[in-house]
Chain A
């Protein structure tokens, strides 16, 4: 549980353990969804893409269940201090996971459109690498949550910069491909949305990691993360 010493009231520990188990389960489903969605996109696997889309319902249902059980525990147990912070964190993580699940579904949705188009050489591999990074970040975040590991959560925050860098590089590549040959535009637009979604998943995961730091220490990390998406300043002329 959250601390090595237990509540005097064992039922409280059971409630918290139950909610944490739901979060871990939800996180596991989102991890799989991210992995499968990226794979479906890369291999143009329509069946796998469909699986990701239908699988999102289970993720949404878990969020609702977590919200309900958290509300119930807040009302019945009136938690304080670390218990309160844990439940607040649970709510935020569940909300972040639900959004990440939506992004995975969006990825999967584009598989069909991409399957009808010429592949854009090289970018698929970069996209998979980026997705693998985010997946690893999410796994570390869930581990940090279960183990109350601030150092690991901090590592996730730092990792997000790498994801942002990959995204910025991909953005440049897409621009180049589109300028080279206008027939690449449709595929590049789809791929760019995918890359942007993966980058957003990284941000969501980072927010979860920050929330875990708050849960454990009582303080949100002070220094602001560098804003990773620099594409707002890119013109295609540089």
Chain B
């Protein structure tokens, strides 16, 4: 068996008649940060959603091919998508806090998965998660106010806190820093690097510098194809495909 945490074989995704991804083959390694880059609409979010079956919830979306997590088919009938998503957590492109308090947003996952036995333990998880998402200082005095009352960047960090609270084995992050200032961005990048000690992280980002800073592997998508997948250092100093070169150097492809 390979060391791949997630392995995708011939993945093809349609929205109705529209083909959004074709023939994607990739092995996502364990304890590694993998960056997905590529122009808007190329299918990065679509592919990310395949990895925790988030596309199941989208009408008209059809996923073909095989995706395994630790060698097990995640699209198998016996797999419970809710259990899967506890293992494969996700931070969405648009912050989507529940209409609940900041505390409850973070405590939600640990509660339903029974990760805390006592109130003190739950408090501890909430604080830890908010700290890791670089939101604790701003949120600690308003934990019981609505999450939706936070600023855009704060909501994004709340969603990150919520995602790490369940200690997923794989964390999928769709542009997690798009609304963050440089300090919060650096804190999230530090968090990602820390998560890598034990977990896999897949991050979609439009910032080449961010991909270069945080990831070890980078995948470049273009028009629904996975064009190039390699060591991040290689992709950014000497990509093999002219489409990758044009994209990362900011040229008209």
B237 near A8 with CB under 8 A, answer: no
Contact A78 B252 (CB under 8 A): no
Chain A residues whose C-beta falls within 8 Å of the C-beta of B244 in the assembled complex = 81
Interface residue count for A (Cβ, 8 Å)?
17
A3 contacts partner chain B, Cβ-Cβ < 8 Å: yes
Closest residue on chain B to residue A88 by CB atoms? B237
Task: Determine whether B248 belongs to the interface, using a CB cutoff of 8 Å to chain A.
Answer: yes
Q: What separation, in Å, do the CA atoms of A11 and B70 have in the docked complex?
A: 48
Q: With a CB–CB cut-off of 8 A, which chain B residues contact A218?
A: 237-238
Is A85 an interface position by the 8 A CB rule? yes
Q: Does B246 sit within 8 A of A, measured CB to CB?
A: yes
Contacts A8-B252, A12-B250, A80-B208 known; list 15 others, CB within 8 Å. Answer: A5-B251, A5-B253, A6-B251, A8-B251, A79-B249, A80-B237, A81-B236, A81-B237, A81-B238, A81-B245, A82-B249, A84-B236, A84-B237, A85-B238, A218-B238
Contact of A78 among B208, B237, B253 (CB under 8 A): B208
**Does B239 belong to the interface (CB within 8 Å)?**
yes
Taking a contact as CB atoms under 8 Å apart, the answer to whether B251 and A80 are in contact is no
Minimum Cβ distance to chain B for residue A149 (Å): 19
9 smallest CB-CB distances across A and B, nearest first, come from A218-B238, A80-B248, A5-B251, A83-B249, A80-B236, A7-B250, A81-B249, A80-B249, A8-B250
Interface centre among A3, A5, A81, A82 (most CB of B within 10 A): A81
Q: Mark A5-45, 1 if CB is under 8 A from B, else 0.
A: 11111001000000000000000000000000000000000
CA gap between A19 and B252 in the complex, in Å: 22
**B209: Cβ under 8 A from any A Cβ:** yes
Q: Chain B nearest CB: distance from A83 CB in Å?
A: 5
Closest to B251 in A: A5
Q: Which residues of A contact B249 (CB under 8 A)?
A: 7, 79-83
Which chain B residues have a beta carbon within 8 Å of chain A's beta carbons? Answer: 208-209, 212, 236-239, 244-246, 248-253
A219 at the interface (CB under 8 A from B): yes
Q: Is the CB of B245 within 8 A of A82?
A: yes
Residues of B within 8 A of A82 (CB): 245, 249
A213 to B245, CA, bound (A): 17
* Chain B nearest CB, measured from A30 CB (Å): 28
Q: Hey, which chain A residues are within 8 Å of B251, CB to CB? A: 3, 5-8
B238 touches A219 (CB 8 A): yes
Give A8 to B246 CA distance when docked, in angstroms: 10
In the complex, 22 of the A-B residue pairs with CB atoms within 8 angstroms, ordered by the A residue number, are A5-B251, A5-B252, A6-B252, A7-B249, A7-B251, A8-B251, A9-B250, A79-B249, A80-B212, A80-B237, A80-B248, A80-B249, A81-B236, A81-B239, A81-B244, A82-B245, A83-B249, A84-B236, A84-B237, A85-B238, A218-B237, A218-B238
CA distance A12 to B248 in the complex (A): 14
Contacts A81-B237, A84-B237, A218-B237 hold; do A5 and B209 have CB atoms under 8 A apart? Answer: no
CB neighbours of A6 from chain B (8 A): 251-252
